[in-house]
Structure 1
Amino acid sequence: MELTTESVLALAPDDSSVKAARGLVAPGKWPTLGFDDAVVWGECRGSGAKPYQVEVELSGPTFKCSCPSRKFPCKHALALLLLRLAHEASFSRGEAPDWVKEWLDSRQKRAARQEEKKEKGQPADPAAAARREASRLRRMAAGLDDLERWMCDIVRHGLDQLENDSRWAEETAARMVDAQLPGIAARLRSLHGVTFSRGGWTPGDWTQILLAQFGQFQLLIDAFRRIDALPPAEQQDIRAALGLAPDKDTVLASGERVRDEWLVLGVSHLEEDKLWSRRVWLRGQAHGRTALLLDFSHGGKQFEQSFLPGSLVSLTLAFYPGAAPLRAIAAEAPVLSGTAPVPTVPLHAALEDMARRVAAQPWLWPLPMLVSDGIPSRKDDVWYLQTPEGDCLPLELEENDGWRLLAQGGGSPLSVWGEWDGLRLRPVSAWEPGASGAPLWREGVGL
């Protein structure tokens, strides 16, 4: 990683972490500061008697701190890197202390164990695996039958019974989890609160949203019942939509491999019941292919690899199978290779690309979208991207994020990268059209 103030601040989980980190950029607060070619470390005085031990491996970068913060990276790790930039003379080059060596050694051993496990594998029992698969498919079929009956009952008795009530989404999602249908459960939970006439929706909109999702569910139910008659790629799409994606080892062993220089267009996070998910959106420079890296971490934003929006990384990806492969796994550690201009995509071209994706894979969610000719605007408490021709694209934006996006655009069009859920675009990052480097706006982070 090339250390710059911009690249360090881009790693911050939120504005408050940046503010807190800046308050620690003072050599007097760090009794120990050191570095070598691979790692930077330091001890920072805190509220306790023992200083916090902070270490950053630069190749990732990867962080560790002994503080109790659940943010990742924490303010101490950010401050250590900022301190390295602002007060380089305060750091001593030399051999890392034992606590840094132990951390690096544990990381190397863990990586070696994982590699050994991949090479050796576990002897499989095909008969037992087939029995487990058949048992799960039976539970899934019963769960989908239950979902179909529930939807028919709701439609038959009227959607108004759901208005101003959010319990139905969680209750039905819980039943889908019991039926081993996590993909369906996630889609139901995404509808939480939609039946309330608020949040910018006009009265009656929620019924259209709900019926459209019911239609998606029914299409998926019908496809599952005919899955054996479909091409293998489409079978994989159906299984993934229901929550039966292949494991990472299988994808790394047999998935389509693509090596390219990948532009990091966006990084988004979501937390649910202490489980953090991270979506990293990439675009290949050689052929314009889009890829999604989806990772999970329990208890905090602690992910093995870091990706900076606006950076260019050299990387080989292994793609999950499907009719229109999008999700992938990094087959190696990313190597930072500079920056590249963000592509320019007018709204009409973005919608055409969206239509092609939906036609190839109707259950893919959320979908990536880049719009380069939209001006942030607000009407009736709803944020939009409005083109010079007057076309509007609704946005899902927190109030503060919307005003920051508007201020950064200054009334001019922006290149906005985000996630489309079929109804609204959730902006993740934004640049001036054709710009390169770090975005001028990121979701939830003031730059």
Structure 2
Amino acid sequence: MQFSRELILQQAPDDASAKAAQGLRNVAKWQSLGANELALWGECKGSGSKPYQVQIDLSALAFKCSCPSRKFPCKHGLALALIRAEQSSAFTDAELPVWVGEWLEGRQQRAEKQEQKKATATARKSPEDAALPTKRLERMAAGLDELERWLQDQVAQGLAGLLGNEGALERLAARMIDAQLPGVAYRLRQLAGVPGSGMIDGVDWPLRLLGAFGRLQLMIDGFRRFDSLPPDARADLSQALGLPLSKDEVLGQGELCRDEWQVLGQRVEEEERLWLRRVWLLGLNTGRVALVQDFAHGSQRFEQVFLTGSVIAAELAFYPGAHPQRALLTNSPELRERAIEAPPSPVRVALAELAAALAANPWQPLRPLRVDDGVPERTPDHGWVLRVPGQDADGAMPLRLDERDGWVLCALAGGRPLRLFGEWHLGVDGCHLRPLTAWQERALVWAVQENAE
């Protein structure tokens, strides 16, 4: 599989990694470089006595390196791909070294186990057959009753009573944990910083807090008539309450979808040494958008690498829900060479689809949004916005960007519409689009860089 220098460098977690990778393109810094139809590998001289062993699985574009870097891909993996793209003659056709063969064999064994899990998961119980223990249901019901009384008291007494008393939300969240409602506790902790936080995206804090209270009340009402809800709505509510399905249950109950998926964008976040990665995929045949979400803790790294802008062939299992979004890979993805043929997405269509998704599942705080006819602008009153030609700034879409990325997008657009893809955030910090990628004439021209240190 061939990749351009530009595409490889766009996958760098930060500018420092990209610069360091380019400095390692000198083949004199590599003790060996090998390739066959399965993989690329090389040994790069480092600061220690032993060289770093770098390898790339070409079928799924998975990277592995023996260096201690927490960045993914690391500079050595990026450099190996760059050398292949620019100096393919530097590689020798050879048999796989033992260390590369063992890694590929391990990946194959894990893929086979995943297939076995998928085959056996279909015999598992459906969501209708699964039932929570009576004692847990009683704890949850009591916790939600307490939450409802608290919400009614705040509205009756006035939200100003929460100013300077943010600890009340933390204490209530702790009681929701005792009631085995982790999803509710998470939402309450997010509200602790809202009282007195002022205007965000044109909405003052009391209105944002009331909106969050309304979604909590909707959860309470939904729980009380849980048995009468449609199966998809029950699945969404269960996840919102903090009762997610296991991976095996998703493989057994979720809808399977095989397609060629374009990697629209990805984002990596870190909290207390827990790394969360969200990868957004667009099915080029089905038109579906999927979110593949995975975690790594401490010194662990994501083994599977997704190249933004590339196309992979894979089967996904979607989590059940009224508007399925999150999905699991059921097999190892395979890279494809295919021209990008994503359908157009004017802002009116994109917002209509967003509204339908939020109506179907009002507790989902993140939604994908792709807009083809917006122009990024910096306004004195609203900050960064995405304006549709003919629309004033008051009706523009708020963007969440740092100054550098904002000016880069403005320069790329040059006052003309730019295709943006990002995550639409609906939360206590306002409603806005956080761009992840930008495209011009089917070409990826910008991707947000995440520092994975």
Fold-level match, TM-score > 0.5?
yes
Structure-2 residue corresponding to 1:375: 375
SS in 2 for 1:440: strand
Which deviates more from structure 2 when the two are superposed, residues 168-177 or residues 216-225? 168-177
1:152-211 deviation per Cα after TM superposition (whole angstroms, max 9, x unaligned): 444444433555887666665555445443433444455564446478556x71221121
- In the alignment, structure 2 segments of 5+ residues that lack a partner are none
Distance 1:382 1:19, change over 3 A: same
SS in 1 for 2:401: coil
Distance 1:410 1:174, change over 3 A: farther
Distance 1:79 1:215, change over 3 A: same
How far apart in 1 are the matches of 2:323 and 2:447?
28
1:5-404 alignment, distance < 5 Å = 5-116=5-116, 133-163=133-163, 173=173, 175-188=175-188, 190-191=190-191, 193-195=193-195, 197=197, 205-299=204-298, 302-337=301-336, 338-379=338-379, 380=381, 382-390=383-391, 391-404=395-408
Distance 1:373 1:92, change over 3 A: same
TM-score scaled by length of structure 2 = 0.86
State the one-letter code of the partner of 1:396: R
Q: Is the contact between residue 72 and residue 301 of structure 1 (CA under 8 Å) also seen in structure 2?
A: no
Q: Is the contact between residue 311 and residue 339 of structure 1 (CA under 8 Å) also seen in structure 2?
A: no
Give the superposition deviation at 1:84. Answer: 2.0
Distance 1:16 1:148, change over 3 A: farther
How far apart in 1 are the matches of 2:405 and 2:171?
32
Distance 1:403 1:298, change over 3 A: same
How far apart in 1 are the matches of 2:420 and 2:117?
41
State the one-letter code of the partner of 1:75: K
Does 2:409 correspond to 1:405? yes
Give the superposition deviation at 1:314. Answer: 2.7
Does 2:437 correspond to 1:429? yes
Does 2:448 correspond to 1:443? yes
Give the superposition deviation at 1:69. Answer: 0.9
Q: Is the contact between residue 431 and residue 440 of structure 1 (CA under 8 Å) also seen in structure 2?
A: yes
How far apart in 2 are the matches of 1:408 and 1:252?
42
Higher relative contact order (CA 8 A, sep 6+): 2
For residue 419 of structure 1, the aligned residue among 423, 435, 441 is 423
How far apart in 2 are the matches of 1:158 and 1:39?
64
State the one-letter code of the partner of 1:147: L
Alpha-carbon RMSD:
3.1
Give the superposition deviation at 1:282. Answer: 2.4
- In the alignment, structure 1 segments of 5+ residues that lack a partner are none
1:1-20 deviation per Cα after TM superposition (whole angstroms, max 9, x unaligned): 43322332232222221112
How far apart in 2 are the matches of 1:132 and 1:235?
13
Give the superposition deviation at 1:334. Answer: 2.4
Q: Is the contact between residue 200 and residue 381 of structure 1 (CA under 8 Å) also seen in structure 2?
A: no
SS in 1 for 2:304: coil
Which deviates more from structure 2 when the two are superposed, residues 214-223 or residues 91-100? 91-100
SS in 2 for 1:297: strand
Distance 1:164 1:383, change over 3 A: farther
State the one-letter code of the partner of 2:59: S
How far apart in 1 are the matches of 2:80 and 2:169?
44
TM-score scaled by length of structure 1 = 0.87
Which deviates more from structure 2 when the two are superposed, residues 11-20 or residues 131-140? 131-140
How far apart in 1 are the matches of 2:170 and 2:79?
40
Distance 1:64 1:368, change over 3 A: same
Give the superposition deviation at 1:227. Answer: 0.5
SS in 2 for 1:67: coil
How far apart in 2 are the matches of 1:384 and 1:68?
40
Q: Is the contact between residue 63 and residue 305 of structure 2 (CA under 8 Å) also seen in structure 1?
A: no
Q: Is the contact between residue 314 and residue 334 of structure 1 (CA under 8 Å) also seen in structure 2?
A: yes
Query: Percent identity between the aligned chains?
Result: 49
How far apart in 2 are the matches of 1:322 and 1:340?
29
SS in 1 for 2:141: helix
State the one-letter code of the partner of 2:307: L
Distance 1:321 1:409, change over 3 A: same
1:264-294 deviation per Cα after TM superposition (whole angstroms, max 9, x unaligned): 3222222222222222222333342222222
